[in-house]
Amino acid sequence: MRNDDEPDRVEFRRQQWTREMPNLDTRGMAVLGRARTITLRVRPQIEAVFARHGLDTGEFDVLSTLLRSGPPYQLRPTELFNSLMISSGGLTARLARLQKAGLIERPESTSDGRSLPVRLTAAGLARTRTAVEEDMRLEAELIAGLSDAEFTTLAALLRKLARALEEGEEDGKEAPGSGS
């Protein structure tokens, strides 16, 4: 096991940048570079969970969003679209695959004829619950190296950063670094 004081790959890169360009601010790399590294390392394990349940990440996102919405596990496509932040074409393709697999249904809406709601079927509900439980067990294992206090601190700091970034989007500000 490595000593926590030893430089990791990101710190090594930051040290290289400091040597080459001493005035370069690499603090963003210290956080975002590590977040990217973590995501890239855990993604295959998480995607393997979804694959064991016959799903890809996008399909899991749709199903878990419907499950989180609570009974009757139903949302309008616009609500799904806004929650998932994907293109409408991407959502349409996912819904078609999930409906073909019998995991969702599109019952007639009594209140809004323009938009058929999307609802989990009994099979979709069962599969989603099982996949979510397995995913959460894996994610708990992946963060098991943190003490309770470290977890609480890290989660609070990440929430603070996420909120700051979200507030910039809500204010109509362009995300830093997204301009030309």
Count of all residues that appear for the chain in the document: 180
Residue 7 lies in a domain: no
How many domains does the chain contain in total? 1
Residue 97 lies in a domain: yes
What pTM value is reported for the model?
A: 0.80
Strands of the chain (E only): list them: 74-75, 104-105, 118-120
What residues form DSSP beta bridges with 75?
118
Domain extent at residue 122? 41-146
Provide the pLDDT for residue 179.
46
Please tell me the chain's helix, strand, coil percentages from 3-state DSSP, rounded to the nearest 5.
Answer: 65, 5, 30
Residue 77 lies in a domain: yes
CB-based contact 46:138 (threshold 8 Å): yes
Residue 163 lies in a domain: no
Provide the pLDDT for residue 119.
96
Residue 35 lies in a domain: no
- CATH for 90: 1.10.10.10
Residue 151 lies in a domain: no
Residue 169 lies in a domain: no
Residue 153 lies in a domain: no
Cα separation, 137 vs 52, in Å, equals 14
Cα separation, 176 vs 180, in Å, equals 11
pLDDT in tens, the chain (180 residues): 556 677 789 999 999 999 999 999 999 999 999 999 999 999 999 999 999 999 999 999 999 999 999 999 999 988 898 888 677 778 888 999 999 999 999 977 566 555 789 999 999 999 999 999 999 999 999 999 999 999 999 999 999 999 998 887 766 665 555 443
Provide the pLDDT for residue 176.
54
